[in-house]
Structure 1
Amino acid sequence: MKTCKLLLIILCVNIVLAKAQSFNTMLIPDSLTKDANAVKRYEELKISIKDVDRAVVSHKYAITILNEAGRGYATYSNTYDKLKDLSNIDGTLYDAAGKELKNVKRKDIADYVDDDNMSLVTDDRYKVHNFYYNAYPYTVAYKDEETFDGIYFLPYWLPQKSNHYAVEQSRFVIETPLNYKLRYKQFKYAGQPVIVNDGKKITYTWEVKNLHAFDNEAYCPQWEEITTSVFVAPVNFKMQGYAGIMDTWQNLGKFHVQLMNGRDVLPENVRKDVHALTDNLSNPKEKAFALYNYLQKNTRYISVQLGIGGWQPYDANYVAAKKYGDCKALSNYMKSLLKEAGLKGYYVLVNADDDDTRGLWEDFPSPYFNHAVLCMPDGKDTLWFECTSQTATPGFMGSSVGNRKALMIGDDGGYIVNTPSYKAEQNLQIRTVTAAIDMEGNLDATLVTKYTGIQQQIPHALMYHTTKEDREKYLNDELNLPTYKVDKTSYTENRSLIPEIQEYLHITAQNYASVSGRRLFIKPNLFNKTGNKFNVDDERLFDIEYPYSFHDIDSLDIKIPDGYAPEALPKNLDLNSKFGAYKIEFKVADNDINVVRNYTRSAGRFPPSDYPEFAKFINDIYKADRSQVVLVKKEN
């Protein structure tokens, strides 16, 4: 009996020691700590689907924080709202040896409204916890549980958070009823999930081990395409009484037709406004632009997110009365205005993100949208309207919405459409610089720049959405000079399908040119330099992706002091490649330095095998952009 008790005690001690040892940072393989700021030790994300409108999601994980750069991964954070409950939060802190130091206390979990400073009212909330420990390395372990009341979105699995984040082990498990139809799309996962049918439920399991950290590469594709990820979606679903089918894009669109039915009725005063604005116009484009101008002048963007309101637009009467709405409500309102004028507009769902030019996956109907816009067919063309902006040019979509696939909601369901894509000749930056350099090397310059298309987005923001002080701070931080001051600025705009902004700047810079004895050293390409340089011998892991094209033209005339003659001029350069074209020419005559620079970047996706050619192309531009003119003072 004593022997049995002793064995039991030894077994319990060994279990405790094994638990403590499991988070000993010395046990992490060197291959996982290389280039890493944090290592995920283990993870299990489990989705238990109970019915078409109910699921329970449990998540547990442990992360070792290796250094100061990784401390952001130590914070626990999760959201909840009317459709998703969050409970059973627990967490533990371990030191480098795996010794337990502290447990989460309920009072230490902060609970906030998810306030984005643009929402009038929202039921989105989030809970946050941090141990605020900084004796590296250390480990945090957390777990929680979410209950979904209504299923539209299902959580996705993305075990590796960033390139300097390694993964020792991560598992994704989904349990469904026997008759439940689950769809999934996976990236960078070898093989297929393990699927087990035990007669009561079906279980899908994905698992990865030993995902290494790696150095960042410029111009990479989207993160979920270069690391392991799995996205899941139902076929049949239900949310707050609305049922839908997600097996095709058309059927998913039918769900949104349900949400929008009867929400396009305008009040009488707005109907009269519509007819007053459009009855005397014969051109559909003119009518649409007049109504868009009316929308911009009479509404503003404010988000309202309550329950299914995250997907269902507030009706047109609500927007007319309140003078505000979110992207869904304002796009629906614009659609209603067009309808009253006898024009057909279409509500369009899109994933709006400057870094995401893919949009939806054609082979995987799923609700990964975060924005709504409106389109209107006009003969061979389609007009597009960003309804949340009071300053945007009608018809222009920009980099966050343009050049991607989106879901247009027709009367009979959803259809995949392409949002506008802009060519290099539509994304221009044409700059004329008139400058002078004095005997001490001080610079005085006037810049007149025309920006069009995507390249006018930042000047547009500087023009409409910043204070004078913020604009000057941005400009003084942005231009490629070591010490300078922007003392005069002005902007004018031409509102057209391809918007255009003209910017005027006056700049002074002390000691821009270097003076050494009788020589003056000047880098004449003053303001538009390629900022990247690459090691040609590096091994490229991922594709090179340029999301959009552009064309820059710089013409510079720099007056130099009397009595100087050129001693050394840079060589002209003319490059052509699949990545674009670059040409720069230098001339010195009659106390003037003249530079003409043309650079066109070509949008595209290129394989890693193209990297040496790409790196050489960019490096040649980098060097030419910083070419130096040497002037020598003539002898008396």
Structure 2
Amino acid sequence: MKALLSLFALLPFSALLPLHPAAPAPKYPVADIPAALREGAHTVLRADDEVVTVKSTSRLVHTVHRVVTVLNAAGDDRGGVAVPYDALNTLSYMRGAVYDAEGHLLHQLRASEIRDQGLGSSGGNFMSDVRVRYADLRQPQTPYTVELDYEIVSENTLFYPEWQPQQGDGMALQSASLLVNIPSALALRYQERQLPAGATAVKTSAGTQDVYQWKMTNLPALEEEEVAPPLAETAPTVVLAPATFEVQGHKGTASTWQSFGQWNYELNAGRDQLPPATVAKVEALVKDAPDARARAQRVYAMLQSSTRYISVQLGLGGWQTFPASAVASSGYGDCKALSNYTKALLAAAGVPAYVALVGAGPDRPDLRADFPSSQFNHAILCAPMQRDGKPDTLWLECTSQTEAFGYMGSFTGNRHALLLTPQGGKLVATPRYGAAENRQERRLDLFLDATGGATATARTVRTGQEQDLYASLLHELSPAEQKKYATDHLRLPTFTLTKYNLAAAAAGATPTVVETMALALPGFAMPSGKRVFVSPNLLSRLPALPTQVGERQTGLWLPRASLQADTVRLHFPAGFKPENLPAPVQFSTAYGTYASQYTALPDGTVQYIRRLELKRGSLPKTAYAGYLDFRRKISIADKAQVVLLKTES
């Protein structure tokens, strides 16, 4: 003991003080972000390091290390972190932390702070085993930095992860990498989209493994430009896909559309058998129908009146349908089940049909036809047949109780679908809807009074994709809610919507919704001395677009063709006459055509006729200047005024 004490006596006093661990070095200080990346950015992706390890045809592991600096309140949604998982995709771990502007640790995510939430249950119209683990790491003051680590072990190799580090408007990228390890025997299929120079794949091999690596650094913030494709179509992306895959013992290949469709077809083969009573009901229903189309129409009406839609995403149930007999007894199913059930009903009616997979969504970009893979989120039905002695194809949306017979609309029209046949998949086009189908025809009467007020009545007939929104309002909202929606969306300075009504027109080749309304417009055209200035285009003005700031980054995306035809009658009180009518306007461009004309009629009214046809297409970014001028000319013409002169009494 004395020896020990004497040893301590020989040590300097400082050596006897308790040892404290050094404070951790700062991580991700905001000052380390290059100034050029902060310009126009709400967030900066400091790191996105992802590793995909394909273990076999039925198993892969995906690890993610992601660091995002939130620069301002507009980027606060990146302060919440969420990771989905399900029965086929196990979340091994999820870790997070948040740092202040100097890079000092503010908070380490605790397990108790992670919420686990399901996306649906059998009690509603959504049956799913998909869950999300979510944590809120947002801070009251910006800037701050969120770090996230997680790992997914997937038993579903139908889908390989997609690498798109820049996930939204206003996100700059400082550093990102993707590493894929895969057995050489399996082969990796991938497609590179919008990658910057020098970011293409680097492949190496070691023994029986192939390694692919991508890296990107210092990319400026994405900016959502006018009339541009969705950001998901313009951001740098690497899409991965299997050559061979396996889901719960069901093996397949995806190197061609034929083989991918074959897997889907065989997965659902034999599930289209109906109970004898249902077959007898269909046979009685169509026994006197004159042709296959009429039989199909009766079957579709039966479907809409007796079934309802639910979403089913339970393991293999995401791709394998309920049997048709189950739908016959329960009256519900998801898109696959209802399409399969309708296929069985049509077979009982003597009408062959095929289920088709499609990427659905309003004006969604078409699939990448040159990259066979699972690019679908919906199923519809296709029935090839004859019409007037010529080949025809009937398409049916089987999940809606209100959709018009044979109509696809903006949800599934104007794109490709994968037909599932006994011979495998076949890529086919869904119905195309152009300006001839997508029409808006309006007749408006505008009545001025001597004090400057006005009233108006309007009847608008919309067809095709122009009626899609209004059909939804008609079927989903009450009349009072429809009127409120119209009131909220009319671009008029001061008005009262005194009457409003929506109604479906008689069924035709293209669905039609008729809108009627009446408006009170106090102070609409106040006299200026002896003159009154009136803009007859009350409801159909197309605004100009802002001038492009800086160089245009994306192409021009015009997803819908349409035709607008307006006829306006201007009624004015006694003692007024037209002094000046705007000159006719007419021009035609690659983007569309426009014409307007004003005429003084013998009955004392002024008639204004406007016709605007917009074209559909994708054009290079150099076309934006021309499109900007096209919209500017339309905006000027739409604001033209009729000058009325008060005559001497």
Q: Give yes or no for TM over 0.5.
A: yes
Instruction: Confirm or deny that 1:411 pairs with 2:419.
Output: no
Q: Which of 562, 569, 585 is the matching residue for 1:557? A: 569
Give the match for residue 631 of structure 2: 618
Give the match for residue 150 of structure 1: 156
Aligned residue runs from structure 1 range 288-367, under 5 A: 288-358=296-366, 360-367=367-374
Contact 1:221 1:543 in 2 (8 A): yes
* Cα distance between partner residues in 2 of 1:104 and 1:325: 40
Contact 1:408 1:417 in 2 (8 A): yes
Q: Which of 618, 622, 626 is the matching residue for 1:605? A: 618
Give the match for residue 252 of structure 2: 244
Write the letter of the residue equivalent to 2:273. V
Cα distance, 1:280 vs structure 2? 1.9
Q: Aligned pair in 2 of structure 1 residues 118, 484: CA closer, same or farther (>3 Å)?
A: farther
* Cα distance between partner residues in 1 of 2:83 and 2:548: 42
Contact 1:480 1:529 in 2 (8 A): no
Contact 1:187 1:224 in 2 (8 A): no
* Cα distance between partner residues in 2 of 1:461 and 1:511: 34
Instruction: Confirm or deny that 1:375 pairs with 2:387.
Output: no
* Cα distance between partner residues in 1 of 2:589 and 2:581: 25
Q: Encode CA deviations 1:157-215: one digit per residue, 9 max, x unaligned.
A: 11111231111011111111232211001101235311121225221111111110144
* Cα distance between partner residues in 1 of 2:60 and 2:125: 28
Tell me the TM-score normalized by structure 2.
0.92
Q: Encode CA deviations 1:324-349: one digit per residue, 9 max, x unaligned.
A: 11111000001011111222101000
Contact 2:169 2:231 in 1 (8 A): no
* Cα distance between partner residues in 2 of 1:485 and 1:183: 59
Q: Encode CA deviations 1:233-253: one digit per residue, 9 max, x unaligned.
A: 111111011111111111001
- State the SS of the aligned residue for 1:542: coil
Decide which moves more: 269-278 or 194-203: 194-203
Task: Could you tell me which runs of 5 or more consecutive residues in structure 1 were left unpaired when the two chains were aligned.
Answer: 7-11
Contact 2:544 2:634 in 1 (8 A): no
Give the match for residue 9 of structure 1: none
Give the match for residue 580 of structure 1: 592
* Cα distance between partner residues in 1 of 2:166 and 2:458: 45
Contact 1:432 1:556 in 2 (8 A): yes
Q: Encode CA deviations 1:446-500: one digit per residue, 9 max, x unaligned.
A: 1111111111112211211112222111101222212222232231322233112
Instruction: Confirm or deny that 1:110 pairs with 2:103.
Output: no
Q: Encode CA deviations 1:299-319: one digit per residue, 9 max, x unaligned.
A: 011112211101111110111
Q: Which of 400, 406, 412 is the matching residue for 1:395? A: 406
Write the letter of the residue equivalent to 2:253. I
* Cα distance between partner residues in 2 of 1:521 and 1:532: 22
Contact 2:402 2:475 in 1 (8 A): yes
Instruction: Confirm or deny that 1:76 pairs with 2:81.
Output: yes
- State the SS of the aligned residue for 1:515: coil
Give the match for residue 420 of structure 1: 431
Q: Which of 475, 483, 492 is the matching residue for 2:494? A: 483
Aligned residue runs from structure 1 range 157-306, under 5 A: 157-189=163-195, 190=197, 192-306=200-314
Give the match for residue 95 of structure 1: 100
* Cα distance between partner residues in 2 of 1:419 and 1:631: 51
Instruction: Confirm or deny that 1:629 pairs with 2:635.
Output: no
* Cα distance between partner residues in 2 of 1:370 and 1:319: 20
* Cα distance between partner residues in 1 of 2:549 and 2:93: 51
Give the match for residue 123 of structure 1: 129
Write the letter of the residue equivalent to 1:449. T
Task: Could you tell me which runs of 5 or more consecutive residues in structure 2 were left unpaired when the two chains were aligned.
Answer: 1-10, 16-20
Write the letter of the residue equivalent to 1:163. D
- State the SS of the aligned residue for 2:505: strand
- State the SS of the aligned residue for 1:217: coil
* Cα distance between partner residues in 1 of 2:165 and 2:437: 40
* Cα distance between partner residues in 2 of 1:75 and 1:573: 52
Aligned residue runs from structure 1 range 483-562, under 5 A: 483-490=494-501, 491-535=503-547, 539-562=551-574
Decide which moves more: 144-153 or 193-202: 193-202
Write the letter of the residue equivalent to 1:540. R
Cα distance, 1:520 vs structure 2? 2.1
Q: Percent identity?
A: 34
Q: Aligned pair in 2 of structure 1 residues 515, 105: CA closer, same or farther (>3 Å)?
A: farther
Instruction: Confirm or deny that 1:36 pairs with 2:44.
Output: no
CA RMSD of aligned residues (A): 2.0
Contact 1:164 1:214 in 2 (8 A): yes
Give the match for residue 3 of structure 2: none
Contact 1:394 1:496 in 2 (8 A): no
Write the letter of the residue equivalent to 1:605. S
Write the letter of the residue equivalent to 1:104. L
Contact 1:564 1:591 in 2 (8 A): no
**Aligned residue pairs: how many?**
623
* Cα distance between partner residues in 1 of 2:256 and 2:277: 40
Give the match for residue 582 of structure 2: 570
Q: Which of 63, 73, 76 is the matching residue for 1:58? A: 63
* Cα distance between partner residues in 1 of 2:542 and 2:551: 22
* Cα distance between partner residues in 2 of 1:537 and 1:114: 41
Contact 2:446 2:536 in 1 (8 A): no
Cα distance, 1:373 vs structure 2? 0.2
Q: Encode CA deviations 1:582-617: one digit per residue, 9 max, x unaligned.
A: 001123456523210000001112222222221111
Q: Aligned pair in 2 of structure 1 residues 178, 492: CA closer, same or farther (>3 Å)?
A: closer
* Cα distance between partner residues in 2 of 1:171 and 1:573: 54
- State the SS of the aligned residue for 2:494: coil
* Cα distance between partner residues in 1 of 2:516 and 2:507: 18
* Cα distance between partner residues in 2 of 1:509 and 1:240: 65
* Cα distance between partner residues in 1 of 2:208 and 2:258: 32
- State the SS of the aligned residue for 1:424: coil
Larger gyration radius, structure 1 or structure 2: 2
